[in-house]
Structure 1
Amino acid sequence: MAFYLQKQGHEVGLMDIDICGPSIPKIMGMEGEQLHQTSLGWEPVYVEDNLAVVSIGFLLNEPNQAIIWRGPKKNTMIKQFLKDVYWNKLDYLVIDTPPGTSDEHLSIVQYLKQTQPEGAIIVTTPQEISLLDVRKEITFCKKVGLPVLGVIENMSIFICPKCKTETKIFPPTTGGAIKMCQEMEVPYLGSIPLDPLIARSCDQGKCYVTEFPNSLASQAYNKIFKDLINKIQPQDPKSQ
């Protein structure tokens, strides 16, 4: 989503608050980069001129270093990312969180409460074992007053690149994301097919949609993000 917004000309910040498992530096192709202290605060790492990234992964001495922190220390780091990083002027701040409803989620909701964030985008896969956790995440959002912008169903189907046969690798035994969204009264944003090239792009630190713009998954990504941004009434970068 950060790449999509950036390519639309917006000033975008991407904040990785998966403190114990930061994967954003790898996905964005920025492994080995470091945050630098300036007179204005921490300088984020820039993937593009209008896409700034902050992650604890940029503070580690080496990529396999384990982060063994309890809640209070995680909370302090998240607060520093918000207050001590010189983000400059942003149109959007996209925050990547770990799965579940842990300290990171509660902290970011509390710290951003006064700013009235647009809401949360929740990602699931079709099988019930995933939906069990997602229902809890939706309930969490409702309890803390965070709007749920919608749910995306990832790995919905696999389309054979040779014969084009569609296969449901993870069959939705209880109706999948669509039925869950209906039951919990939250928007269903769409589905993303399973494509091994997505994983390869992440491993290589490349934007999948840029690398494979004509793929079915890229078309699904673009439609979901376009509809979503229209829903939250984005600012027009040309008018700023």
Structure 2
Amino acid sequence: MKGLILGTLFALGGLVAFGAEQDSDQEIYYILQKGFIKVAGTTNLFDFKGQAVRHEGQLVEKDGSYTGKLLLRFVDLNFDLPGVGEVLERADYMNDKVYPTISIDLDHFTPAKKPTEIKAELAMHGATRPITIATQFEYLPPVVKVTGSFSIKQTDFNVKPYRAGLMKVGDILDVQFKVFFCEYYTENANLKISAETAAKLATDDKISVLMEKGFFGCEEIKKNLPSGQK
């Protein structure tokens, strides 16, 4: 069993303890601040896109089946056009002061089977709708790499596409992401991966895996652990 987890949640680039010890029959994979989450749309005059500067979420594995969550905060989206933040705040559009996040709950899936799509539920603007995400998985223990894409209609979530003067925002938003999740062990941490796997993660994805006495997992996670758990 992973030791000294204390039910930590990897969020906002750090590990925040919330008290309960993790169940012994499940494994938690914490999201890394690697990869990207992008949102893109169109207007009748130009296209626009934004990218999240922080990633939040986790995967939970139990009995070979995985569930997961991704959380995207509007405040963490950097857009390529000025003034988008002010538009998102408008009460007659996204109203992100009242509805600050987009959350994606991933249904049961098995990364080792490399599913080409998975079912999920997306919550935005007070509405929740089922979606299907086109996916690619790569499982390089202790890391799960997930690449995915999907499109949504704003009107499906009770959002009227923004317009100003002659400019009209299209109804469809496209989301693309490449995210990495990593598990770690502090008890019985005598696990090893091949030099080839470690080199691939370091070279391709800039992820460093530590195989030390008392710790096996990603270096980024160890850096964010509370001092008593390092």
TM-score, normalised by the number of residues in structure 2: 0.28
TM-score, normalised to structure 1, is: 0.27
Bigger fraction of residues in helix: 1
**Structure with greater strand share of residues:** 2
